[in-house]
Structure 1
């Protein structure tokens, strides 16, 4: 889990809002997503923000925090999506326990599913076409 408990909610909210304003770091369909210089500048902005509470913060530190936040958010999101697809009654659908879940909802359409071929032998078949969920992180 992204150990954000030691930071104030106000700080984490500001950090997530700043991250949202830097689509070169999370919007995979943007042309800026492939721009290394722009990404470096964006990470420096986030590092500067984190240095307000962690003087030793660097790019790797920030990347790890973002990855952890996104992983926790994704698990909650998948749980909710699975419940919605199951035909569960609205009142039975789990509510997210993650307090910043709604702040990260801008990431919803950044996950894509694509078809792939696996080399795992299943029965008499050598190759099997399967769906693999690809998650773009950084």
Structure 2
């Protein structure tokens, strides 16, 4: 049996040097988009835990070519960070658009991967207006409840 030791390490190190962090993130997003079980809330696959786990392991396997020590935990954390940053940026841009700014004055996305993540836009559950409405309703119900207890 051939020795996989030093030669394999050199090949792995060389392949890791072939891709920049930026390209790695764009590749990760591309792979993530290819597995709707991980992000498409209304699909049947999204509700299937086994399909989600299989999708995660497939992505990790593809990414290990570039980062041999990449794990599912690292992937989950990276996806969460990318989604969080994308959502913050998206909300900032949408608020600027709603404020009545001219299209030239609306801020441009600062994230280099913003456009790559746009496939997630229709997956967001709660808009700002819904959350503020929910807050007002909760406050109203709390006030009524307090009033009834005083009677």
After TM superposition, the score normalised by the length of structure 1 is 0.77
The answer to which structure, 1 or 2, has the higher relative contact order (CA under 8 A, 6+ apart) is 1
Structure 2: tracts of 5 or more residues without a match: 1-18, 146-151
Aligned residues: 122
Provide the C-alpha distance between the structure 2 equivalents of 1:36 and 1:107, rounded to a whole number of angstroms.
20
Instruction: Tell me the secondary structure at the aligned position of residue 143 of structure 2.
Output: coil
> Deviation above 3 Å: which 4+ runs of structure 1?
114-118
- 1:45, distance to aligned residue in structure 2 (A): 1.1
Higher Cα radius of gyration: 2
Aligned to 2:27, which of 7, 14, 17? 14
Structure with the higher fraction of residues in helix conformation:
2
Output the aligned Cα RMSD: 2.7
After TM superposition, the score normalised by the length of structure 2 is 0.70
- 1:49, distance to aligned residue in structure 2 (A): 2.5
- What is the aligned partner in structure 2 of residue 60 from structure 1? 73
- Kindly report which structure 2 residues correspond to 1:20-59, keeping only aligned pairs within 5 A, or say none: 20-59=33-72
